[in-house]
Chain A
Amino acid sequence: MEMGAKEKNQQLYKPYSSGIIAKEPPSSWQQEIQDLRGSASCLRSEPEFEMADIFYFCRRGVESIMDDEVTKCFSAQELESWNLLTRSNYNFRHISLRLTVLWGLGVLIRYGVLLPLRSEQHTGRICNRGSKIYHIWLTLKLKFFLSEKVHLMCYRICVRALTAIITYHNRENKPKNGGICVANHTTPIDVIILANDGCYSMVGQVHGGLMGMIQRAMVRSSPHIWFERSEVKDRHLVAKRLGDHVADKTKQPILIFPEGTCINNTSVMMFKKGSFEIGCTVYPVAIKYDPRFGDAFWNSSKFGMVNYLLRMMSSWAIVCSVWYLPPMNREEGEDAVQFANRVKAAIAAQGGLVDLIWDGGLKRAKVKDAFKEEQQKLYSKVLVGEQDQGDQSDNKLVEDENPKEDKSHQDSTEVQ
């Protein structure tokens, strides 16, 4: 199965976008408005407005009411053909008795065999290793060397417990000390997937209770960065701590998910610029899950953690590919946002994901007025023509604004 999954990688990781409506390929605004007017020349000295221009806005507006990209990102990806998991069952109609029987068999296997095996492995091995780990920790001298071994071992246990089949590509680009590793975020399991292949320092909020205990335990073996709730708001403090960590070359690379929230693995959303301001080497990593074996996306508004883990352990498997991309540095004259976008584009291109400009935080918040202004700016440039100096950046904006979508004109969700 592993070999099969590996060979099929190329096919699998094409950009996947489905929708209920066919959207025109995002042409530049000039193109659209020209088509409306049917005129060849776009050089005008006077702003010229046509009543028909409104059609473009009307259509785009109604299109977004019918189907929009952002909300799609926060629900699980729809599959072309069913993978026999009820949870991936959107819009599939009853087809045949045979399929129902197959599904029933699948349920039996997943819940009756796979799930118990995995949980037993998980708890059994952890208890076993637990005692050994305790002894190892006592030996301070070998602490860091052994902690690495222990760290890897623990994560390998977790990986086995979930039956994750991971293919690592380009391991020569693996993140090194003194850098920051950034990856697209789909699920908390991303951490396990990456940590299975190397040691990273995690960044996060200090929790109480069990999580807090685990966090303190982790810190004893390797340096992680845990923030107090109050410190999280203070950007300078955060930046300073991160900066100090990367400056120390003996410390492991930091693992950060700049999107800030879980996305459903069909696209990459806006990267928050915080980690890109620090000024060290960034190691981008692209993670892509194979949706046929189980949907890895954690929809935190729908499922809690325990429910989610249960679903993970009762899927067929978690098959994913991890690509280590060549390290990137901020270039001269590039600000943090541009750098972040560059890294995001690289990750999206590698993983076959759609590169979006939207902020993942929008799942909870409202669109910033800045975006609206961008739209207005674009339209006014069209009216005024090629006169303005900022034209180079305009074209760039147009490309940035219009997300690149791979058009799949087949019906991807309905099985008639």
Chain B
Amino acid sequence: MGSSNSSVNNIPNAQELMQETGFSAAHILRLHERFEFLDKHKCGQLRPQDFGAVQELALNPIGDSIISAFFSPGQETVDFASFVRILAHFRPTDRNQSRDGAQQEPANSSIRKLKFAFQMYDQDRDGKISRAELLQVLRAMLGIQVTEEQLQSIAERAIQEADLDRDDAISFDEFRKSLEKVDIDHKMSIRFLR
């Protein structure tokens, strides 16, 4: 005995996914189990409610933003491949990665991690973080603990510091510049056990 219930071969497109995301077979397997666990209705797709069932996520201030990051605009469900692709952003960066210019940006590069974080702010995905969007995120993170004025002043300061071309919004490049000194790889990586 000792045989497993599922092997990587049972998962559709497993090899492709491994290639694309850099996850090992073992990781894909574990993620698949997790996917199936979250998929309470056993329909092979996840809905926003399925993510909502994770309690720790429900109390994360940006929980809803994180959930919506999994769903492309207009889509209501996410399949396993998309699930893994998003999670791939959080794989630790491979230090010794060498790639030629023609290859696609790996899923877990610093740029992609930054893009994910940018998406948390930029809810309407227009490529800019507007003042309203910033306020929304700040409100979610702080709740009723700060007053409206304090919130406005925080947002004001943040925009002033980051907005270089004075268009009252933070573009992705401005976002990236303001975070030059932050060790993104470390802060946005989740290490798998084996």
Contacts and interface: CB of A to CB of B under 8 A. Distances in A.
Interface of A: 19-22, 36, 38, 46-71, 82, 86, 89, 91-96, 99-100, 103-104, 358, 362, 366-367, 371-377, 379-381, 383-384, 409, 411-412, 414-415
Query: Would you list the 5 A-B pairs with minimal beta carbon distance, nearest first?
Result: A376-B143, A380-B145, A64-B56, A411-B194, A61-B66
Interface of B: 1-4, 26-27, 29-31, 34, 37-38, 51, 54-63, 66, 87, 90, 116-117, 120-121, 137-138, 141-146, 150, 153-154, 157-158, 162, 170, 175, 178-179, 181-182, 184, 187-194
B190 A66 contact: yes
A58 B66 contact: yes
A226 to B, nearest CB: 33
B143 to A, nearest CB: 3
Contacts of B194: 411, 414
A61 B62 contact: yes
B87 A58 contact: no
Given A61-B60, A367-B55, A21 B192 contact: yes
A287 to B, nearest CB: 25
Nearest to B121: A54
Majority SS at the chain B contact face: helix
A372 B61 contact: yes
Contacts, number: 175
A383 B153 CA distance: 13
A366 B55 CA distance: 7
A317 to B, nearest CB: 20
A35 to B, nearest CB: 8
A113 B61 CA distance: 55
Nearest to B3: A94
B193 A409 contact: yes
Contact of B142 (A64, A99, A366, A379): A379
Majority SS at the chain A contact face: helix
A200 B11 CA distance: 52
30 contacts: A20-B34, A20-B192, A21-B191, A47-B154, A51-B170, A51-B178, A54-B117, A54-B121, A54-B137, A55-B188, A57-B141, A59-B90, A59-B189, A61-B60, A65-B38, A65-B87, A70-B55, A89-B2, A91-B4, A94-B1, A103-B2, A362-B55, A367-B58, A375-B61, A376-B142, A376-B144, A379-B142, A381-B145, A383-B154, A414-B26
Given A47-B150, A55-B187, A22 B193 contact: yes
B138 A100 contact: no
B31 A66 contact: yes
Nearest to B57: A64
Contacts of A70: 54-56
A380 B141 CA distance: 8
B188 A59 contact: yes
B2 A95 contact: yes
Nearest to A91: B4
B1 A89 contact: yes
Given A36-B187, A93-B3, A380-B143, A411 B90 contact: no
